[in-house]
Structure 1
Amino acid sequence: MDLNQFTNLKTKNILVTGGAGFIGSNLVETLLEIGAKVTCLDNFATGYKHNIAPFLPNENFHLIEGDIRDLKTCEAACKNQDFVLHEAALGSVPRSINDPITSNEVNVSGFLNMLVAARDAGVKRFVYAASSSTYGDSEALPKVEDKIGKPLSPYAITKYVNELYAENFYKSYGLNTIGLRYFNVFGKRQDPNGAYAAVIPLFVKQFMAYQSPVINGDGSYSRDFTYIDNVVQMNLLAITTENEEALNQVYNTAVGDRTTLVQLTDLLKKHLSTFDSAIAKVEITHGPNRKGDIPHSLASVEKAEKLLNYKPTHAIDAGIEEAVEWYWGNLK
């Protein structure tokens, strides 16, 4: 990705909520590299201080430790900001099934707080993390933005409500928004620990310990795994586009290809084995399908290509190669 196309962000004030998390910290890193003035708002519920430690000495970086469930905190964070990249949320379908109330408080009430604060602060554009879970029980492939099904989890409901609120705030108050429906994002700084760890960092950690990863079901379920660099590109395009037609829309943020879980484990083994050949011999085990999981996910990225000039830089193999290299250097 050529960052020279985003030099108009230099010296702009940009708030990244959830900036100490996986996606947020990658956004912060790139924005600082461009020369933007970045404020990070995080309560460290799922983010980590070590993710932002390298940025603390940078005079263009400002940290606010706070919770989006508190409106006054949101108002303070949005003050004098040109753009908001809203990444703060409680992710994970299983987490939302186990605790739907907290997921709703953070993902809906917290989101509404941020919209209100951004509106009142005169923020130019509000770009937020939407989710592919919004497609719910729709079996159509590839997933196209204007055709969704019924949500299959409390998490999916919260992310769809975000889209409805964002659309309403544009129509009611003129706040320009763009929603990015993330498809199974992976890459550096994604946490391999905890009960709700995503599949790729979890499997990498297990392979490195010679433990057998457990695939939910027979391994035929497929996902449009999306490397973090593609997601960063989409966020930058969303806050810099001058195409009026591109505003107040939602976009699939993906590659436009799908990989089964069996294929995924084969790729992980292939790249990890370049560091330790013994990993190639680690067996895979299978367990029951997981509640709330959709069988297949594949995005159409035509809308993003047409309106935002999106060009994915990393397909699954290149992304896994880079991610594995990072994990090998940071988990050993």
Structure 2
Amino acid sequence: MQTILFSNGNPKKLARLHLVTAFFCIAQLAVSQEAKPSAGDFRTEFDKRLAAIQIPYDEREANLIESYKNRVIQIQEKFQEAGKLDTALVLKTEIEILNESGKTGTIPNETLEPLREIFSNEIAAILAEKSEATIKLHESFIPLIDRQIKVRTKQGDIESAKQLANLIQEYQDQIRKIKNAPTKKGELQSFSILTGDDAEVLLSSTDPKNNQAVSARATASSSWKDRDVHLVCRTERLTRLEAMNPTDFWSGTETTGWIRLQWRSPVVVKEIILVNRPGESKADIWKKGRVSLNGENLMEFRDFERGSAMQIQLSKPAFLSDLKIEIVEGTQHPGLHSIEVYPQTLGK
């Protein structure tokens, strides 16, 4: 797919320049025979350099948002001129959401989907580069501060040494926080299909009132009779699979299909639970399925039967705006009782 959204400038070069400048500036301060930089001096210099490093990334993000908005405006005008008012209205809503939040909308639209994907990927790339530059700045200050700790300790200035040590700890904590921050691309850590007591332990370990699926817009390839797709987004459910109402579920009309959750504002996900249709039966089996996060394949699975639950764990939290679960191959009417999305590992 050809990229049609661009941002100007080279923030990586600017960030490296600021890092080099920061290093020499603070190093000169740290090795001075007369100056004794305090924790406050280091903090002031760090904050100044951090602001300078982040400016090009913030500008690049703002330019990208403006480029995306202008592109959508151009497309909207063409649809409006052609008299396709329904599509023009969707595009107008996209522009309004973008102006309010700087994010894309979630209303399904074939024209917008490729643009949204490009936009989301480029935003994610900018944020990743910004995080990398921020980590490097933290790392460049730590050895300089450590050198001053040794000097102060030799001089007997234990209080100043402690303050500097606390600053190093603060920067190390910030590095860990950045590295553990949610990403756009979810990476699978593990998944398992559970039944009986094992499934009950899983379902007892979380409270569906915290299920983030309820804030999503649910759609499906089809829905069989009154088995509406919105049934899967629950804030209440039993913990024993065999006690669940066997008529309370969503299913499609075919042996293949999909169900999809989309969030207007991304949520953080670390763990996903899929509860299959209640009731013991060898019919309605997901013989082969696929789970995708934000348009990218996360995992495939086989033999997901009625009366079972699936636990999916990510290696680290991820931002989630689009969750799609596909029935690649099934028997009769595969379906789901519930989809549950949680920001942390269950039971912790």
Q: TM-score by structure 2 length?
A: 0.22
Q: TM-score by structure 1 length?
A: 0.23
